[in-house]
Structure 1
Amino acid sequence: MIFHSPLTAVTMIESVRNRASKETGMKKSVLDSSINWEFNQFDGTLRISGTGKMPRFTQNKESGGFDDNPWNPIKNEIATLIVDEGVVSVSGAAFWKCKNLTRAIMPHVLHIHAGAFYECSALEEVAVEEIVTVGEGAFENCSSLRRIAPELSPSAKRKIESLVFVDECAFSGCESLDSVTFSNLKAIGRGAFYRCSSLQSVSCERLSSIAEHAFRECSSLSECRVCNGCVIAEGAFSKSALSSPTKFID
């Protein structure tokens, strides 16, 4: 009879896990004590599950990258992101420059932090339903982003009703985004939709403030519907296509 030392036994278990991972095409790991992630190498789907907030990642001052992000080595293989119910936030720069990410499905996420999807140039669709805040530069330069809604289906008519604040430059440079409808949005930050050149209409029925340059250089913007009493900063619509700045809703 052969007895394995504890170290040998652990090595054998890891070997079995690695072999199984190669056979199934799945990579799995723990992000922290309450958040897990798994990546399907066959279809490029990254799924994040668990409870609570995603942890913060630290930017390397020399390289500019986020070396403590566990999916950083496979970031260019990610095509679809799914965030399961229970995970309430997407941390800053979590998917920074994931250049092949095309869809993000995260209906129960409440907060998307600064730079979370910065320069995800292939990102086309985002499904969010319970979102409350979108942080600074969260989707900045996502040049293919054309749809942000509760569902990915183009025929779906439901609006995002939970969002209350869009921070500075949140959607700046989203050149494919053609319409925005956030029924309970309260404030739009500085340059939030700057250079959204395909944006044609904005409908935010309860909006109370629009900061400077929010819609600057939105060259296709022809309609903006906001509530009467909304405070609009000087230059909010500079170099846009609006002949008259707004249509007020009583």
Structure 2
Amino acid sequence: MKKSVLDSSINWEFNQFDGTLRISGTGKMPRFTQNKESGGFDDNPWNPIKNEIATLIVDEGVVSVSGAAFWKCKNLTRAIMPHVLHIHAGAFYECSALEEVAVEEIVTVGEGAFENCSSLRRIAPELSPSAKRKIESLVFVDECAFSGCESLDSVTFSNLKAIGRGAFYRCSSLQSVSCERLSSIAEHAFRECSSLSECRVCNGCVIAEGAFSKSALSSPTKFID
């Protein structure tokens, strides 16, 4: 078991036997700095073991996942973080094996947070496939947040207000979207979603030109406010 202090209020420990990384403490996860020459994040303490991480657990008290925190963790398959409020830019960028994400209190998903997570098929309050609860806290999905998530087949965010540019670009397996309180969809949000057959939003939703370009759906099904 490897343990360390991330900063004064956040701790982490890694179990090398089952590949579980646990983040605990209170407050925000600190930012990491990208090395301009290598492109890596040298001040990230689990960078040397990033390819050994299979499961991430973020305990209650930690309210955010910092930008690029799990950038290209190629063997990460599950992320369990029900009490995280904010997932920042590129947090899980190109985690190609990531299949399931459990978030319950999430409010915002940052730019490219799950970009090119090609195996991601489920984002929900809990990992059980039989669970019926929806994510009700999420209000904003930023630019390219789920771009290239080729295995994601459905999205239900009941209180989502805005979807950023290219947020679901090239989500080729995405069949249905239900965001009935949505107020805006930016350009190219669902571009090249070749399997999309249903997108339910309210009548007041402002849809940018090209939001559904090159997708299987020319325009969403609208509900009356």
TM-score by length of 2: 0.99
User: Identity rate of aligned residues, in percent?
Assistant: 100
Partner deviation per Cα, 1:110-158 (whole Å, 9 max, x = no partner): 0000000000000000000000000000000000000000000000000
Note if 1:71 corresponds to 2:78: no
Q: Which runs of 5+ in 1 are unaligned?
A: 1-25
Change in 2 beyond 3 A, CA 1:244/1:137: closer
Q: In the alignment, is the contact (CA less than 8 A) between 2:81 and 2:102 conserved in 1?
A: yes
Partner deviation per Cα, 1:16-73 (whole Å, 9 max, x = no partner): xxxxxxxxxx000000000000000000000000000000000000000000000000
CA–CA distance in 1 between the matches of 2:125 and 2:96?
21
Q: In the alignment, is the contact (CA less than 8 A) between 2:69 and 2:91 conserved in 1?
A: yes
Question: Relative contact order, CA 8 A, sep 6+: which one is greater?
Answer: 2
CA–CA distance in 2 between the matches of 1:62 and 1:238?
36
Q: In the alignment, is the contact (CA less than 8 A) between 1:57 and 1:66 conserved in 2?
A: yes
Q: Residue 53 of structure 1 aligns with which residue?
A: 28
Q: In the alignment, is the contact (CA less than 8 A) between 2:101 and 2:123 conserved in 1?
A: yes
Number of residue pairs matched?
Answer: 225
Higher Rg of the two aligned structures: 1
Q: Residue 242 of structure 1 aligns with which residue?
A: 217
CA–CA distance in 2 between the matches of 1:165 and 1:66?
26
Superposition RMSD in Å: 0.7
CA–CA distance in 2 between the matches of 1:128 and 1:94?
16
Partner deviation per Cα, 1:61-110 (whole Å, 9 max, x = no partner): 00000000000000000000000000000000000000000000000000
Q: How far did residue 242 of structure 1 move?
A: 1.1
Q: How far did residue 245 of structure 1 move?
A: 3.2
Partner deviation per Cα, 1:187-223 (whole Å, 9 max, x = no partner): 0000000000000000001000000000000000000
Moved over 2 A (4+): 243-250
What does 1:69-148 align with in structure 2 at a 5 Å threshold?
69-148=44-123
Higher helix share: 1
Q: How far did residue 248 of structure 1 move?
A: 2.5
SS at match of 1:73: helix
Q: Residue 136 of structure 2 aligns with which residue?
A: 161
What does 1:185-200 align with in structure 2 at a 5 Å threshold?
185-200=160-175
